[in-house]
Structure 1
């Protein structure tokens, strides 16, 4: 009798469920080195063919070429992140066990953290006057912000899809929820903006129904300087909180409520911001605050990019007053 061998395939490692093996042949592709060399030669050619108008003309041509390459690199990075988003969606549809559910939830949170440096670079390059190269045109800055907007929307859709499947929660009241995520940081002089996006309209206060729902939050850290122009200690810094909120108002035309969008500032009520009693903060489960409306944006929800543009203008106007 002939002995038959049966090979049993070992179960897949859950850590690799959402990270398919890559083809090692890509690493050995000689075309990658060839393309890098070609781009370097083209960059040098631009400088060599610059009109003989002095050193400034050559530098300007070189800077424009570098800006184009930087934009192309950012677009390639964006496409890489979007492919990861699509891959996680495919993994969600094909999941088979509870173990895969845990691996998928971990993969999503990892992707959010992985995208943060990319968001910071896009927002900082396009918005921060100090870090914005002088040769970047308004068109290039607009494209960088468009990349940020695209990735923000796709990540938001991914989180909402995972929430519908019960993989994770976007309810801020739950401790382990993913109700919002960071989408960049920029500097405006002595102001440092950190931008957050909520996956869906979320109650302004978790324990009190105010009728307001927050969609975005900006942490605006003010960095004071001493007489010598050096930044002061970390404890001397102050942070204000601004929100993009919506509220449903009665419609006189009897067609239901009218949703209105506005930008406002958090005003601390409880605990008293002027108190020095530490126990007031310890005994307070959830701080309460008011919404000081600064600007009404109408009935159309603004994108995260355009809302940040509006807040940036408000902050710059305040600084000039």
Structure 2
């Protein structure tokens, strides 16, 4: 069994490597990807850039026009690099998807499922880097507006590909999506960003889950954001955040009864109900104290859902939902 897993992993790595090199070297339609070049014989550019490397590439501040020009060139270089990395990651996802669908036996599929779990972890730095470019660099460099559109598009492409991959493996009972199971791959962290004194971590539920585990509320969550509000002394001294400094926001839907749903309309109807999407905040109900003993004795914390943004009847993409939340948080900072 061990020999089979080792052989499978070697074959998968070899297949993925050759597929990636062919994709970069092969002929493509004339577009922006033609400017991506190999960095050496038989090798491609390192998949992920470190934050220090990005800072080193950042244009110096100075004359506004000159800074804008340098910023545009720098961002174009970053976009090319991120696009190449996206191609490599999506190619790897395609390989994993094709392998499990090609009729492998249970032992080989189990090894592939372990490879998918590792692959999900390897994709997280890419999401973090996209968020870094979108927010941190925009505060120091004048960048073209369409750069943000490209970065959001890269992020959404990889999100969609990963969700398709995970759902396929879950359909073979190779991955668990139930958040109550310790081995579940859902929710999945899809990047972190820093907005001034706020640190935002984004999580995606690969399938809708009840808002509360043991109480039926009619709400089903698709995303969660952990928002840490750093205090002034924490930002200066680098102290660890306490639990009560973290707020939780969710993207949820609920089916609202509508007697006129069958008569037509623009909303997405489900029977005699209309599905409505919103972003809301977790409001703790029990335990209602900070006493550690109360938290230990509380088997399942309970909370209300405070609706903050109504998004209509169509499910938003994970990228657009995150942008809406970030805009709301930034507007709250301005108001404060």
TM range (shorter): 0.7 to 0.9
Look at both structures and tell me which one has the larger radius of gyration over its CA atoms.
Answer: 1
Give the Cα–Cα distance (whole angstroms) in 1 for the partners of residues 38 and 123 of structure 2: 28
Give the unaligned 5+ runs of structure 2.
26-36, 44-61, 263-270
Q: 2:116 matched to which residue of 1?
A: 108
The reply to whether residue 74 of structure 1 matches residue 68 of structure 2 is: no
Contact 1:14 1:103 in 2 (8 A): yes
Change (3 A) 1:226 1:32: closer
- The offset of 1:56, in angstroms, is 6.6
- The offset of 1:95, in angstroms, is 4.3
Q: 2:236 matched to which residue of 1?
A: 230
Give the Cα–Cα distance (whole angstroms) in 2 for the partners of residues 307 and 253 of structure 1: 28
Give the Cα–Cα distance (whole angstroms) in 1 for the partners of residues 185 and 67 of structure 2: 46
Contact 1:201 1:214 in 2 (8 A): yes
Give the Cα–Cα distance (whole angstroms) in 2 for the partners of residues 85 and 110 of structure 1: 12
Secondary structure of 1:234's counterpart equals coil
Q: Please report the TM-score for the alignment, with normalisation by the length of structure 2.
A: 0.78
Give the Cα–Cα distance (whole angstroms) in 2 for the partners of residues 56 and 239 of structure 1: 38
Change (3 A) 1:286 1:20: farther
Change (3 A) 1:95 1:131: farther
CA RMSD, aligned part only?
2.8
Deviations 1:23-57 (A, max 9, x none): 6xx7xx997459x9xxxxxxxxxxxxxxxxx9776
- The offset of 1:62, in angstroms, is 3.7
Give the Cα–Cα distance (whole angstroms) in 1 for the partners of residues 211 and 333 of structure 2: 27
Change (3 A) 1:60 1:311: closer
- The offset of 1:102, in angstroms, is 1.8
Give the Cα–Cα distance (whole angstroms) in 2 for the partners of residues 120 and 31 of structure 1: 24
Give the Cα–Cα distance (whole angstroms) in 1 for the partners of residues 227 and 315 of structure 2: 22
Q: 1:315 matched to which residue of 2?
A: 329
Q: Please report the TM-score for the alignment, with normalisation by the length of structure 1.
A: 0.81
Q: 1:7 matched to which residue of 2?
A: none
- The offset of 1:284, in angstroms, is 2.1
Give the Cα–Cα distance (whole angstroms) in 1 for the partners of residues 68 and 248 of structure 2: 40
Contact 1:194 1:220 in 2 (8 A): yes
Contact 1:222 1:239 in 2 (8 A): yes
Alignment counterpart, residue 161 of structure 1, candidates 168, 189, 192: 168
Deviations 1:80-116 (A, max 9, x none): 1100110001110124322212211111111111000
Give the unaligned 5+ runs of structure 1.
1-9, 37-53
- The offset of 1:232, in angstroms, is 5.6
Secondary structure of 1:226's counterpart equals helix
- The offset of 1:209, in angstroms, is 1.1
Contact 1:204 1:213 in 2 (8 A): yes
The reply to whether residue 287 of structure 1 matches residue 294 of structure 2 is: no
